[in-house]
Structure 1
Amino acid sequence: MSNSTFTQGSSETEGTSQPNSTAETVLELDGVCKTYGDERVIDDLSLSVTDGEILTLLGPSGCGKTTTLRLIAGLERPDSGEVLLDGAPVAGNGDFVAPEQRGVGVVFQEFALFPHMTAEENIAFGLKDAPESEREDRVDEMLDLVGLDAHRDSHPDELSGGQQQRVALARSLAPEPEMLLLDEPFSNLDVDLRVEMREEVRRILKDAGVTAISVTHDQEEALSISDRVAVMNDGRIEQIDRPEQVFQHPESRFVAGFLGHASFLSGFVTGDEVETGLGTLSRDRIHGLAEEYDGTKLDVLARPDDLTASPAPGDQSDGEVVHRRYLGPTVLYRVELDNGDVLECMHDHTDQVAVGTRVAVELDANHDLAWFPASQR
């Protein structure tokens, strides 16, 4: 059961889970299901995407995100439900439009460039039916958009991974598709280049004004590139919203845990306060905590960057450091509180707190906190 009834009561009134209501809807999936053998891979999935939006399908391997992308592209047929592009059905209820007739471009994980063609020739490949002058102008425009004019005569093996990705992106954008689909677009790049290319790809997509759907299992990638994120699990969308909303106000424990480290601080609501293993929290710090939950138990979501642990004498401490993980720029400490809760605290890499040290833990978040009913634990 989602905790949207409990912690996300304002999301519907704010409209944050919906696409831009003033923009034209480009894509709709309505009750789409897909089964392979006895396994239901996509289960009654519905979503809509508006013109110029970048939406990312985020989830673990096997959650159905790539199958969803293939259903949109026309590489798979839904067993039930409908897929509509610009309001016209392209799959479902007896309709099926072939992939090449949908006006949808795809950037594959491995880029799929033709090795015997130059960057210019790769980009021009999808423009064979256009007059030569128009084709040349469009290729020039694309090379300029992705910043590769100086490499127009280079073959793929003469280009870096990031440059190859930009050629693949330009090739897909050249025919001016209604929508662009990106399948794990950064997975073949090294870590540093991945971060750089996220920003570059978002810029290119926004400059081109194209609607895009990306698929990834990388949380940081999804949060940084997207206008909205749809978190998927077991063939369903658990939550779809702006990156900030999904991260700060997750509607299920799965979403909370998948989008980074999640610790849960047990509490008891009494009047205007919530009693916890770290002392008393003001009720107004808990997001959307309605009056009817007075006298009930709950679990407050605390991210590692919301918590700090400082060595303290026994009578002033809250718990003990039971694990330490060095991450380079930061150190992640796991603290077991005296009440049994286990919290993770993120510190600067220069901090040195040994395992076994008694510590006082401070919850110093400057934002409201999501929560879940204790019964979900």
Structure 2
Amino acid sequence: MPSISIKGKSMPESPIRKLVPYAEKAKKRGIRVIHLNIGQPDIKTPQIALDAVKNNNIEVLSYSRTEGSDAYREKIAAYYSKKHIHVNAEQIIVTTGGSEALSFAMGSIADEGDEIIIPEPFYANYNGFATATGVNVVPVVSNIENNFALPPIEEFEKLITSKTKGILICNPGNPTGYLYSKEEIQKLAKIVKKHDLFLIADEVYREFTYDGREHYSILQEKGLEDHAIIVDSVSKRYSMCGARIGCLVSKNKEIIQTALKFAQARLSPPTYAQIASEAALATPQSYFDDVKTEYVSRRNILIDELSKINGVTVAKPQGAFYCIAQLPIQDADHFAQWLLDDFHIDDETVMVAPAAGFYATNGLGKNQIRIAYVLDKGSLKRAVRILGEALNVYPEG
């Protein structure tokens, strides 16, 4: 029998999706599964985006430009300008989701065996993208005890070698909900300039910051023009996960020219999804204000209810719509599967994402889960009640 590649065997499973077969079996048994595992918002997509697809007069569904349509990129640049990020259309490449933008960024800055430093826990698919591109993830640990704040810069400096090509952050963070301050961004800027590295920021959740805090982009920081690469997406901003439209943004001409070659290899981003995404840019600010208010309310209920469970430690998110909860168990993977296989209350159970998959350091996160608070408040309350009751009777706690 032909052999599978070493890279294929090394590709990690998604902690977000790997338990789907168990959830499907539970549903076939008549169990309602409350999905806390995936960041699929229940917020309605702006109607203006849906109507743009329904009402277009396209007769031939053709390729778009490799870098995305001129009209869409001009409007993205205008959107960034409102966020005090001053770029032009030529500094933007439209991608098939933020995932492709990140893959292009890794491929553009690093060769096989090179290293990228990432504060952990981090978005689980960073491990997958790194494996696919042959990049080694070098983790720097942040801790639930201090709400997953940026580790001391000295910890980053200890890890920098001749193989280090960049630092990658998610701001606000998935899975932690941590929002990096302007001062923390400036500390990162100082270290990447000192060691001549790239700073990649996944800013997909830019719109979702709470408690009066504001997002500070790496492209707002002067002097980072040659170092900064932004990864972005419409998926969460407009509740358009299925559109699969993102972008890579940089003022470094060589980065854009190099990423464009990767983009040419996949031809072009999807045409209909660009139409929807371009229209979505006209969404009024009131939409985001309402969404933020709703997420703050959901976050507060979730954190308050989790904090009532004996033995549970939870970090309070400052942005995005995720949190990490540390449970009084040994193995969150086993617990998550047990919830789907063997536990329910009134024919309801909960699906969570085991957090070990959001770490690169072996053994970390084994007793943690990531929760996405993208459901209505009633569902969140029921879900936490189920988790609490489950922990009381879980046989391997």
Q: Same fold (TM over 0.5)?
A: no
Q: Which has the higher contact order (CA 8 A, sep 6+)?
A: 2
**Structure with the higher strand share, 1 or 2:** 1
**Which structure is larger by alpha-carbon Rg, 1 or 2?**
1
Structure with more helix by fraction: 2
TM-score, length-scaled by structure 2: 0.27
